Structure 1
Amino acid sequence: MAMEALAPYGKWVLIAVAVLYFVYLFVLKKKVFEVAVGVALSGIMAALVAVATMLIQVPTPLTRGYINVGDSMVMLVAVLFGPTIGAFAGGFGSAMADLITGYAHWAPFTLVIKGVEGFVVGYLTSKKDDFTTILLATILGGALMVLGYFFVEVYFYGWGGAIAEVPGNTLQAVTGIIVGGGVGHVIKRRVKDMLVSLQI
């Protein structure tokens, strides 16, 4: 099948995306982390993502992972503060939760997958922040998260393990769309001017 033919290239795709992720944050956007507000927002939002991820955890023994509600905070942060803070908080905050709670084997993949999710949602909603755009951005971000974990799980655990994780990951995505996107839209409408100045 096509997936099996692509499987040997999975690690190289992950490495390429990881390199792009780090280049974006620490080369193209390095000035964000040279400014006090950028450092403070990045750290605080990453911590909030980690706490939200650890708040509710449902273990999935087949792939030694867990279902959580961290995507709600990843999407909320991305909607409110844009792609750079969204990418940093989504990736590092989620990976930190994996490390703290004993799922260190997932941390490198989470770093990249949730980082990409935060970037995509933040980028699209920083261009246009009406309800439809936020909805579509969070749907796309959630879909990329589900697909990202699916590809990694196919590579490591086969089709059975990957398919078993889809409902849980989809639930995480839907929760993120409703809570993160919905709350983000409401907050952004009320304090839009202040948030625009913080999108760095």
Structure 2
Amino acid sequence: MNEQTRKITYTALMMALTFIMTSLIKIPLPTGYIHPGDGAVLLSAYILGPWGGLIAAAIGSASADYFGGYGAYVLPTFIAKGSMAFIFGYLMKRFPDKNILLGMFPAVIAMTAVYYVSEVIMYGNIAGPLVNVPFSLLQGVFGVVLVTILHKPLERFRLTPVKF
């Protein structure tokens, strides 16, 4: 398999995995739900790098919101999960010798910030969306735990080898 075909195939697989992990297990909240899909978002960036991870995470997560009935969150999710994957992928590429945890936490904070700003715009209130911040962080931390467990077994699927 040539490199271009491999990239396209892995991107499609990670997009599907992100969609499934976001759609399969949902813990409902008054304004949405939390899920283990952030693990797939971070794995997308780990396996595909910043740009491939952005595409797979953004489209997979936004599609889960669209087909799950959360149409108002499609664009915020596209931006939040795409930026989360890009930041983690970029930090992994830029600082390959660092611990992967150092790259995941800025990505989770960026995702939480994007959701907060999006909800401020949607609700027209800066205080109301603060309720969702802990849940966004919890969801992100759950994703960090999943990637911490799975990154070593999945290391052989990485498109760009990075030393750890």
Q: Conserved in 2, the CA contact under 8 Å of 1:120 and 1:137? A: yes
Distance 1:197 1:79 in 2: 9
Q: Does residue 1:53 correspond to 2:22, yes or no?
A: yes
Query: Can you list the C-alpha shifts for 1:121-166, whole angstroms capped at 9, x where unaligned?
Result: 111112334462x111100110001111011112222234311101
Query: Can you list the C-alpha shifts for 1:85-130, whole angstroms capped at 9, x where unaligned?
Result: 2101110000010111111111111111111111111111123344
- Tell me the residue number matched to 2:38: 71
- Tell me the residue number matched to 1:195: 158
Q: Does residue 1:111 correspond to 2:78, yes or no?
A: yes
Question: Deviation of residue 81 (structure 1)?
Answer: 2.1
Q: Secondary structure at the match of 2:69?
A: coil
The aligned amino acid for 2:50 is: P
The aligned amino acid for 1:141 is: A
Q: Conserved in 2, the CA contact under 8 Å of 1:46 and 1:90? A: yes
Distance 1:187 1:37 in 2: 15
Q: Does residue 1:88 correspond to 2:55, yes or no?
A: yes
Q: Secondary structure at the match of 1:66?
A: strand
Q: What TM-score comes out, normalization by structure 2 length?
A: 0.86
Structure 1, unmatched stretches of 5+, are 1-33
- The percentage of counterpart residues that share the same residue type is 33
Q: Secondary structure at the match of 1:159?
A: coil
Q: Does residue 1:141 correspond to 2:107, yes or no?
A: yes
More helix by share: 1
Distance 1:185 1:137 in 2: 16
* Structure with bigger gyration radius: 1
